[in-house]
Amino acid sequence: MPEEGVPLPRADLLTTEEILTLARLFVKEGVDKIRLTGGEPLIRPDVVDIVARLHQLEGLRTIGITTNGINLARLLPPLQKAGLSAINISLDTLVPAKFEFIVRRKGFHKVMEGIHKAIELGYSPVKVNCVVMRGLNEDELLDFVAWTEGLPLDVRFIEYMPFDGNKWNFKKMVSYKEMLDTIQQQWPELEKLPEEESSTAKAFKIPGFQGQVSFITSMSEHFCGTCNRLRITADGNLKVCLFGNSEVSLRDHLRAGASEEEVLRIIGAAVGRKKRQHAEFSLMLQDSPPAIPSISLRGSLRVQGLRHRVSSSSQMVTLWKGCWVPQAPLLAQRWLGSGFPQRHLSSHPDSDANPKKCLSPEPRAPATPSGPLPTSDQLTHVDTEGRAAMVDVGRKPDTERVAVASAVVLLGPVAFKLVQENQLKKGDALVVAQLAGIQAAKLTSQLIPLCHHVALSHVQVWLELDSTRHAVVIQASCRARGPTGVEMEALTSAAVAALTLYDMCKAVSRDIVLGEIKLDSKTGGQRGDFQRT
C-alpha cells in the first residue's frame, strides 16, 4: 500500500450486478470455485451480499476469499453464514513491529484475532500466505513452520515475484529449494504431500503437526504448464496470466449490451492467446532452462478474477478466482472454436553447455515463410527532385503488420559473467535493456526523421545469454494494424536494447561489440512477407 493511500475509481469498477452476471456466466460454463481477493475485498460494503448471492449459483462448490485479515474477525460470522467456504490470509511476518513497517499501519493483533476466529468457526486449513524476501523475513521461516504444530494452518511460502511498484530485485528472492533446505535442517522428517494436478503449491507436513506448509514456486519452478486460472480485475478486465499485460475488458462489452455468446467468444479468444509461461519479467533461474510441461487447451480451465490491474493493485478492490472443472470436448469447442488445435509445448532445446537467462520466455514470434521481398530501384523517401520526404500512406489500406528484428552484443567474459549473475553495480542489465527496447519501439518516429508514427498494439523484447560467445542475443517483435509497416520499430527496439546493454556494462569493459542488427521477418503490407533464411 502506498504511504499516501489510493483513490477508488468507483465508476470504473464492476457493479454488484455485473459481478454476479459474469460469475453466473462462468459457473454455467463449468466453474466450480470462485475466490474474492484484491486489494482488500472486505472493505467492499456489499461483500457479504455478494458471497450470499454467489452461494445461490447452482454448480458452484467453493467460495473463497483472500484478505489481509484486519476486518476478518468482525465479518467472518456473517460471511460464513452467507456461504464462504475457504479463507486465505496474507501475513508476511510474525513480528508486530515488522508488520507495521510492511503494511504501513497497525493491525497485527487484529489479523491474529481473525486467524483464530477462522479456526474457531471450523475453517480447516486456514491458509496463510507469506511472501518471503531476503533481508526482511527469511529469518522467520522456522517460526512460521513451528506455528503449524498446534494449529490447523497451511502456511504458504511464496517466492518473491516481480510486480509494478514493488522494486523487485533478484537478490531479494529466496528460492523454494533454499527455504526447503532451511526447514529440513530443523525438521528432517518433513514429508512431501500429494499434489493435485492443477495445484500451484508444493505441500509438506511434519509428522505430528496439525497443520502443514506449502511453497508457491512461481519463479524458480514455474507451474504455468498446469495453471488453470483466469482472473478478472475489479474494473472488469480478463487476465489469462497474472504476470501478463494483456487484458480484455468484459465490463465494456457487458455495458455495450453484448450477448452471452459474444462474451464467451471474447473469453475463448483470450484463453487461446495464453502464453506457455508467465510473461514480461519472468526469470529462468536455473543455469539452463527446465523442461516445460506440455500444455493443451481443453475444457479444463480455471477462472480467477475481479482484481484491479497490477499497477494499481494496492487499491482495495476485489479479485475472484475459481476452478474450471473438466467438461466435455464440446465446451472447449464452444470457447475456442470447433477447429481450434490443442497446443503442445516441448521442453527447451538448450543444453547445460549453453546456459541462458531469459526474460519473457514466450515462444518467439514465427515469421511466415515466403519468397524474397520484391525490390525496387527507386528510393521511396525522396521527392522527384531528390529531396528527403515522407511517404504519403494516406491511401494505403490498413493491414495487420508484424516485424521481428535482432541484435547481438558481444560482452566478453568478465562483463558476461557479471550480467549472468546479476552483479553489475548499475542493476539488472537485462531488465533495463528490455524496458529500453520496449520504450524505443514506441518512440521510433521521434528518433528516425521520416518514419510515420505507428500506434503499436504490442511490443515484445527477448534477451538470452549465449555463453559460447559471451554474448547477449536480443530479439524484438512489434505488431500494429495500419497502412505502414513496423520494421523500423523492431530494428530500433533491438538496437536501443543493445546500446543499453553497452551503457550498463561499459564501466567493466570498453571492448564490447554491437553487431548483427538485422530484420529477421516481416508480415503484412503490399510488398509481401519476408523471412530471412
Look at residue 450 in the predicted model and tell me its pLDDT: 82
Annotated catalytic, 503?
Answer: yes
For the chain (length 533 residues), average pLDDT per consecutive 10?
61 89 88 88 92 95 95 96 96 93 89 97 96 90 96 93 50 84 95 80 94 85 65 86 71 89 84 59 34 28 34 31 33 36 31 37 40 52 62 72 94 91 86 91 87 88 91 93 88 95 90 92 81 83
Look at residue 483 in the predicted model and tell me its pLDDT: 83
CA separation (Å) from 19 to 133, 152, 314, 459?
Answer: 34, 32, 20, 32
Residues 6+ apart with CB under 8 A from 291: 347, 348
Look at residue 267 in the predicted model and tell me its pLDDT: 84
Neighbours of 523 (CB within 10 A): 22
Look at residue 55 in the predicted model and tell me its pLDDT: 96
Look at residue 111 in the predicted model and tell me its pLDDT: 97
DSSP labels, 398-461: PEEEEEEEEEEEE--HHHHHHHHTT--TT--HHHHHHHHHHHHHHTHHHHSTTPPP--EEEEEE
Active-site hit among 503, 511, 520, 529? 503
DSSP β-bridge partners for residue 319: 37
- Domains and their CATH numbers in the chain: 10-273 (3.20.20.70), 399-531 (3.30.70.640)
Contact present, 433 and 441 (Cβ < 8 Å): no
